[in-house]
């Protein structure tokens, strides 16, 4: 099976967007005149991505504040990237006259989340979030499941490393959204069933 080279040279962003394979997996991103292959997520990455998307939506949807979406291509400020999670406020979600989503997104996220996978460059993740917050994104989170660290990016400020007993805070995009750092990394601990095997109520006859 053919594989993509790590980076490919192209001339322009417009040329990249005309290329029919940009939304096939593995995802490709246009960064500083190069096409780069997005690192495929592994289990820890996917666990946090799914749970955090769910947490953002559970907070935002009752008040119709906006939507979180995984792996949504966003093209803005000379780049076309696929953040791990994008949150857009309702005012920034485009639909057609029937209320159906417009596929292509040409604005930065309101919240941009990157979840580092093994083999993914820390420097490139940092540069990606710095570019977003310098180009209209209000809030960025860089989550490292291996080191269990979270860095917060905001316009005009240096990244802030949250303490292990700190909180992931959605302000100013989602005031009131708070998740403990320990809870975020608790999503990596899988507990399918910790019931006692010798409990008669949980045997084949005791299960409903």
Answer whether 138's CB lies under 8 Å from 121's CB: no
**Of 76, 103, 81, 95, whose CA–CA distance to 22 is shortest?**
81
Rounded to 5 degrees, φ, ψ at 141 are: -125, 130
Closest CA to 27 of 69, 68, 73: 73
Task: Note the pLDDT of residue 9.
Answer: 62
The CA angle 108-110-116, to the nearest 5 degrees, is 80
Q: Which two tokens stand for residue 142?
A: 């860089």
Q: What is the pLDDT of residue 10?
A: 66
pTM: 0.86
59-116 pLDDT, tens digit each = 999 999 999 999 999 999 999 999 999 999 999 999 999 999 999 999 999 999 999 9
Q: Which residues contact 60 (CB under 8 A, 6 or more apart)?
A: 66, 67, 68, 87, 174, 177
Cα distance between residue 154 and residue 172, in whole Å: 10
* pLDDT category of residue 19 using cuts at 50, 70 and 90: confident
pLDDT score, position 205:
45
State the CATH architecture for 39-190: Alpha-Beta Complex (3.90)
Alpha-carbon Rg for the chain, nearest whole angstrom, is 19
**Residue keyed to tokens 């109520």:** 201
Predicted local confidence at residue 2, as pLDDT: 42
Predicted confidence at residue 191, as pLDDT, reads 79
pLDDT, tens only, 163-199 = 999 999 999 999 999 999 999 999 999 877 655 555 5
- pLDDT for the residue numbered 195: 52
pLDDT of residue 1: 38
- Give the number of other Cβ atoms within 10 Å of residue 44's Cβ: 19
Domain boundaries, given as residue ranges, for the chain:
39-190
The pLDDT score that the predictor gives to residue 3 is 46
Q: Tally the C-alpha atoms within 13 A of residue 61's C-alpha that lie toward its C-beta.
A: 9
pLDDT at residue 200 in the model: 52
What is the tens place of the pLDDT at every residue in 30-66? 998 889 999 888 999 999 999 999 999 999 999 999 9
Give the pLDDT confidence of 3-15 residue by residue, as tens digits: 444 455 667 999 8
98, burial (CB in 10 Å: exposed 0-12, middle 13-18, buried 19+): exposed
Among candidate residues 145, 187, 164, 154, the one with its CA nearest the CA of residue 53: 187
Report d(CA 46, CA 40) in Å as an integer.
Answer: 10
Which one has a higher pLDDT value, 180 or 26? 180
Task: Look at residue 205 and give its three-state secondary structure.
Answer: coil
- pLDDT, tens only, 113-168: 999 988 888 999 999 999 999 999 999 999 999 999 999 999 999 999 999 999 99
């Amino acid at each position: 099976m053919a594989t993509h080279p790590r980076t490919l040279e192209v001339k322009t962003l417009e040329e990249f967007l005309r290329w029919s394979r940009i939304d096939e997996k593995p995802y490709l991103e246009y960064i500083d005149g190069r096409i780069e292959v997005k690192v495929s997520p592994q289990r820890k990455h996917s666990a946090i991505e799914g749970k955090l998307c769910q947490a953002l939506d559970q907070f935002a949807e009752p008040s119709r504040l906006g939507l979180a979406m995984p792996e949504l291509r966003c093209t803005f400020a000379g780049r076309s990237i696929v953040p791990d999670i994008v949150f857009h406020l309702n005012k920034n979600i485009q639909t057609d006259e029937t209320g159906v989503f417009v596929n292509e997104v040409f604005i930065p996220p309101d919240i941009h989340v990157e979840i580092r996978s093994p083999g993914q460059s820390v420097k490139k993740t940092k540069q990606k979030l710095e570019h977003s917050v310098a180009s209209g994104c209000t809030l960025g989170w860089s989550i490292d499941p291996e080191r269990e660290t979270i860095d917060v990016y905001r316009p005009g400020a240096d990244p802030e490393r949250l303490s292990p007993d700190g909180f992931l805070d959605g302000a100013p995009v989602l005031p009131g959204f708070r998740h403990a750092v320990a809870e975020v990394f608790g999503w990596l601990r899988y507990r399918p069933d910790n019931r006692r095997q010798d409990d008669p109520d949980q045997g084949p006859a005791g299960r409903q």
